Amino acid sequence: AQSVTQLGSHVSVSEGALVLLRCNYSSSVPPYLFWYVQYPNQGLQLLLKYTSAATLVKGINGFEAEFKKSETSFHLTKPSAHMSDAAEYFCAVSDQGRGRRALTFGSGTRLQVQP
């Protein structure tokens, strides 16, 4: 069975500071990994995805994530936080093999950006 662990339910950074949101996964086969963002009272929007083509993945809004197999991690980073980055972020892993192709989500990390 797959699982995703997001360390830190709340992260607070100052505007202009580095953003680091942690995600570790458990999977018996090479995973497909995703980061989604949820702004207040909205649905989930895809930030970026890892599908084995490259270990460093660039997404929208200046975010990127690095897949590290040895550490079973897929941490999300952004060099300089902006006020508009305040949101909840979810890491997810896709089912492997044929079948339902559902996503297993982490519990989420709420990012606060202080002026």
Q: Give the length of the chain.
A: 115
Closer residue to another protein, CB minimum distance, 51 or 61: 51
**CB contact set of 68 (below 8 Å; sequence gap of 6+):** 55, 74
Query: d(Cα 45, Cα 42) in Å, to the nearest integer?
Result: 9
In the complex, least distance from residue 107 CB atom to another protein, rounded to whole angstroms:
5
Three-class SS of residue 84? Answer: helix
Closer residue to another protein, CB minimum distance, 73 or 94: 94
**Rule CB under 8 A: which residues touch another protein?**
4, 9, 32, 34, 36, 41-46, 49, 51, 53, 90, 94, 98-103, 105-108
Closer residue to another protein, CB minimum distance, 17 or 105: 105
